[in-house]
Chain A
Amino acid sequence: MRFLHTVLLVLEKDLRIEVRSMEIFYTTVFFAVACVLVFSFGFVREGEPIEGAAAGILWIAIAFSGTLALGRTFERERHGDTLRALMMAPVDRPALYVAKLLGVLVLLAAVEAVVVPLIALMFQAPLFAEPLMLGGLLFAGTVGFAAVGTLFAAMLVRARSRDVLLPVLLYPITVPVIIAGVRGTAALLQGEPDVGMARAWLSMLVFFDVVFITLALWTFEPLMTD
């Protein structure tokens, strides 16, 4: 109960700060749109997108803008030196992790709400043919990416060259998420949607989420102790 209360308090604080300035949301959304634009130049031939490009571009945009959002979220704490205050609070450390993770998830969900329709529109991709399955893949994939990313971004707050180290550390570890997300989405986008294939990838994502959230909850305390 106390755990949940802490999570909600920290989440509310983060969302309130964000809603007042909308800084991370606006910059991340436009960064994602810029990513889509840049990649479309690489994957559109004679006005027609290459087969399977939409799924790849979608997940690259999520991964890139996710990295940016993770970095900015913790940069804000570092700038005000408030992470230390949070860490000194007599509350469960894992509750802080969960709150930060939920904050990043809310932000990325908002970004995806813009990027997914945009890609469907620009690449004539039938992204909404299987809305439930696509929603599941997006949710499970984003949770997996953010679960590892939130922990690493929190750890790196104290490190030098944190801006470049975050993607360097995060991308190799989240390779399964990217592969499962791209292949699962591509299975839904092909001429005849392969729901069975998408379900197999989704189950892998869920498994990944469970293992890595458990690991993160388990290691957050020792990792964040000086």
Chain B
Amino acid sequence: MGVQAVKSDQGLAHRAFPALSVLAAAMFAYAPFMIMGAPYESTMGLVQKIFYFHVPAWFAMFTAAAVCGLASAMYLFGGRKSWDGVAASAAEIVVVFGAIGLITGPLWGRKAWGVWWQWDARLTLSLVVWLTFVAYLLLRRFGGAGSEKLAAGVALFGVANIPFVYQSVNWWRTVHPKTTVVMTLGPGMRGAFWWCVGAFLLLTVLLLIARIRLERERATLDDLYLLVEES
């Protein structure tokens, strides 16, 4: 029974995985050339190039956060264990891409603003969201038996909290470039930027697929152990 579950798992995502991996690798390999070809930003110069990895990393983080929140709600109200695996996988990806954003941000800020950290709206929002998901992983790891359900609640609240954190830190203070920056990019920059966004989102999807499969195989293995013990 367990073996069948593994086999039926080999769906579209599974079959497309190698091709998508090659595509993602190619996109990341070509990204430096796109970024090199993009024009220099007038005031910040070379250091602004970090933007092509910094912003897409945040895009990836918030996408994964949305997936985690949605999967947690499905698990909480639907009760299917597989949704919990999706949520846990997405939460790990949130923390990874958040860490990338939180490292590249200060590197850029040091040159652009003269300081490593600014308590501006978007930085604070990202830090709070990142901390929420670190707390989620801590709960899963150290909460003991039954903490999956509690973690699902935390993810749901964490995602619902995002608009509030955004609004409150926005009113609190702001020095970060406005969201409109992305829409008003010069034509040379736009191509490189969206190329990188595509590469990062593709990587997010690939990581999700791989991580969810690991989670499922782990669950199947547990089931098989139980079967062996029973027989």
- A residues near B (Cβ < 8 Å) are 148, 151-152, 155-156, 158-161, 165, 168-169, 172-173, 175-176, 179-180, 183, 200-201, 204, 207-208, 211-212, 215, 219, 222-223, 226
Contact = CB atoms under 8 A, between A and B. Distances in A.
B156 interface: yes
Given A155-B153, A161-B144, 9 more contacts: A152-B154, A159-B139, A159-B146, A165-B139, A165-B143, A176-B168, A204-B168, A219-B76, A219-B156
Interface of B: 76-77, 79, 128-129, 131-132, 135, 138-139, 142-144, 146-147, 149-150, 152-154, 156-158, 160-161, 164-165, 167-169, 171-172
A222 B72 CA distance: 12
A101 B143 CA distance: 23
Closest 5 CB pairs of A and B: A160-B144, A176-B164, A159-B143, A176-B168, A172-B131
Contacts of B157: 148, 151, 173, 212, 215
A179 B132 contact: no
Contacts of B149: 155, 222-223
B153 A223 contact: yes
A212 B167 CA distance: 16
Nearest to A201: B171
Contact of B142 (A158, A165, A175, A208): A165
A155 B172 CA distance: 32
A179 B131 contact: no
Contact of A176 (B129, B132, B135, B167): B167
16 contacts: A155-B149, A156-B143, A158-B144, A159-B150, A169-B135, A172-B161, A173-B132, A175-B161, A175-B168, A176-B165, A183-B171, A204-B168, A204-B171, A215-B160, A222-B149, A223-B76
Contacts of B144: 158-161
Given A155-B153, A175-B168, A215-B160, A160 B132 contact: no
Contacts of A183: 171-172
B112 to A, nearest CB: 25
B153 A176 contact: no
A223 B167 CA distance: 28
Given A200-B171, A204-B168, A172 B135 contact: yes
Nearest to A151: B153
Contacts of B165: 175-176
Given A155-B150, A161-B143, A211 B160 contact: yes
B146 A208 contact: no
A179 B169 contact: yes
A158 B147 CA distance: 8
A5 B219 CA distance: 44
Contacts of B169: 175, 179
B58 to A, nearest CB: 17
Contacts of B168: 175-176, 179-180, 204
Contacts of B161: 172-173, 175-176
A148 B77 CA distance: 19
Contact of B138 (A151, A158, A168): A168
A226 B147 CA distance: 10
B150 A172 contact: no
A168 B135 contact: yes
A206 B207 CA distance: 39
Nearest to B130: A172
- Most-contacted residue by chain B among A155, A168, A169, A179 (CB, 10 A): A169
